[in-house]
């Protein structure tokens, strides 16, 4: 077995003995993310906590082996070690080592580094490329409408602060507090922790909501539209590349 083959197996492009190793690694990464989430539950019984610790050690061994295999079989090991995916692979095993020494003070935040493993899900798939392409495509548009949406949020926050501050000095305590109301209202999430109670504040909210929802929806609509079109664009590029090769 030659080295590039091993990389293709680990990336999930080639099966090994009928098993898609890359897919198995993806499942382990997702299982790792679920384990990280479960660990934070305070009511977790002791035996499950021990199981999760064992699972983390198991993952550490697996990802360490993967890292060593990739490093030793890479055509140019140093280049891999300092490549984007090489650093991600190293970072995804480093926190596990920290996990094993719970005395260490910075261990808690350091453990979150395990989440970089999630990025490995995108290796060898087109999903990452699609996201990057979609965002790059609409970068300019997004910036302009992001600024306009930001201004509208700010002006709405100032307005509601003027109308509601005297009636609810604790709730609409300052303009930054009112900005939080503007975010929750214009995204239509509406948590219900802040809402106008004065007639003026309600009329102001009605007016800015109806004018502003269309404006605020633009950045999200741009992202949605770009993502919906992104695959088409990649396919178009591939087709165009194929056509230019055919000629």
Interface ranges with a second copy (CB under 8 A): 33, 36-38, 40-42, 109, 112, 115, 118, 121, 127, 130-131, 141, 144-149, 151, 154-155, 157-158, 161-162, 165, 173-177, 179-180, 183-185, 187-193, 195, 199, 202, 205-206, 209-211, 213-215, 217-225, 227-228, 231
Q: Identify which of residues 61 and 228 has a Cβ nearer to a second copy in the complex.
A: 228
CB of 90 to a second copy, least distance (A): 20
Cα–Cα distance measured from residue 196 to residue 158, given in angstroms and rounded to the nearest whole number:
13
CB of 93 to a second copy, least distance (A): 19
Q: Identify which of residues 8 and 141 has a Cβ nearer to a second copy in the complex.
A: 141
CB of 173 to a second copy, least distance (A): 6
DSSP letter at 17?
A: T
Cα–Cα distance measured from residue 172 to residue 161, given in angstroms and rounded to the nearest whole number:
6
CB of 27 to a second copy, least distance (A): 12
Return the sign of the alpha-carbon dihedral for residues 195, 196, 201, 203: positive
CB of 237 to a second copy, least distance (A): 17
Cα–Cα distance measured from residue 24 to residue 33, given in angstroms and rounded to the nearest whole number:
14
Q: Identify which of residues 45 and 176 has a Cβ nearer to a second copy in the complex.
A: 176
Q: Identify which of residues 72 and 206 has a Cβ nearer to a second copy in the complex.
A: 206
Encoded tokens for 93: 């095993």
Q: Identify which of residues 82 and 104 has a Cβ nearer to a second copy in the complex.
A: 104
Contact (Cβ atoms closer than 8 angstroms) between residue 157 and residue 181 = yes
Q: Give the relative orientation of helices 175-186 and 139-164 as an angle to the nearest 10 degrees.
A: 120
Contact (Cβ atoms closer than 8 angstroms) between residue 164 and residue 172 = yes
Q: Identify which of residues 47 and 210 has a Cβ nearer to a second copy in the complex.
A: 210
Q: Identify which of residues 97 and 144 has a Cβ nearer to a second copy in the complex.
A: 144
Encoded tokens for 89: 């692979």
Helix segments in the chain, DSSP class H: 3-10, 21-39, 46-73, 77-81, 84-91, 94-99, 107-111, 127-137, 139-164, 175-186, 199-246
Contact (Cβ atoms closer than 8 angstroms) between residue 163 and residue 196 = yes
CB of 109 to a second copy, least distance (A): 8
CB of 16 to a second copy, least distance (A): 23
């Amino acid at each position: 077995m030659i080295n590039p083959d091993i990389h293709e197996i680990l990336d999930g492009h080639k099966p090994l003995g009928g098993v898609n190793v890359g897919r198995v690694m993806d499942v382990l990464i997702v299982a790792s993310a679920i384990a990280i989430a479960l660990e934070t539950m305070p009511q977790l019984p002791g035996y499950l906590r021990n199981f999760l610790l064992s699972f983390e050690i198991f993952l550490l061994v697996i990802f360490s082996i993967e890292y060593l295999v990739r490093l030793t079989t890479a055509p140019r090991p140093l280049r891999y070690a300092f490549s984007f995916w090489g650093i991600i692979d190293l970072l995804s095993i480093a926190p596990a080592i920290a996990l094993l020494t719970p005395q260490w003070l910075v261990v808690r935040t350091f453990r979150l580094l395990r989440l970089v493993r999630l990025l490995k899900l995108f290796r060898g798939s087109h999903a990452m490329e699609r996201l990057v392409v979609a965002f790059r495509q609409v970068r300019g548009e997004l910036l302009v409408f992001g600024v306009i949406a930001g201004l509208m949020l700010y002006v709405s926050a100032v307005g509601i602060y003027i109308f509601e501050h005297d009636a609810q000095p604790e709730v609409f305590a300052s303009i930054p507090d009112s900005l939080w109301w503007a975010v929750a209202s214009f995204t239509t999430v509406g948590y219900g922790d802040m809402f106008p109670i004065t007639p003026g504040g309600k009329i102001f909210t009605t007016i800015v909501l109806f004018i502003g929802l269309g404006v605020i929806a633009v950045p999200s609509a741009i992202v949605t539209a770009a993502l919906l079109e992104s695959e088409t664009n990649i396919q178009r590029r591939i087709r165009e590349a194929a056509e230019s090769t055919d000629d």
